[in-house]
Structure 1
Amino acid sequence: MPQHTRAPICRDCDGFATATITTGTRNTDGTRTTLPVACRACKGTARQLPAAQLVRAGR
């Protein structure tokens, strides 16, 4: 059964806000060098930010 959240999940990352990417090089102990990367749309929060509402200007 799905869980209900207060804020909608980010549509760009589907809730997986950070990912770890390997650089291809290895450390001296044999482990891979990795870089954490955050979603650009939600900035790592995994929640969709509310869209700015349009305001009608003029008449």
Structure 2
Amino acid sequence: MPQHALSARVCRDCDGFPVVAITTGTRHRDGTRATLRVTCPACQGTGYATLVADLARAGE
């Protein structure tokens, strides 16, 4: 099956996986692992890049 391209650009920092769960190594009393939920700082957890004009003004 062909893959369809997304209309929005995928974030280059997280590759479209904006939220991850990281284990801390400790366990709760019931045996489950303690995890931290971390979002991508570049896209603020959306998974898509914003189109920003990269204009630099050199001198005056």
Residue identity opposite 2:19 in structure 1: T
Q: Secondary structure at 1:24's aligned position in 2?
A: strand
Q: TM-score, normalised by structure 1?
A: 0.82
Name the stretch that deviates more: 24-33 or 4-13.
Answer: 4-13
Corresponding residue number in structure 1 for 2:11:
10
Q: Structure 1: where are the runs of 5+ without partners?
A: none
Instruction: Tell me how far apart the structure 1 counterparts of residues 56 and 30 of structure 2 sit (CA, whole Å).
Output: 58
Deviations 1:8-43 (A, max 9, x none): 000111101111000111001000000110011101
Report the AA paired with residue 45 of structure 1.
T
Q: What percent identity do the matched residue pairs reach?
A: 51
1:53 and 1:28, CA in 2 relative to 1: closer, same or farther beyond 3 A? Answer: same
Unaligned stretches of 5+ residues in structure 2:
none
The residue that corresponds to 1:26 in the other structure is 27
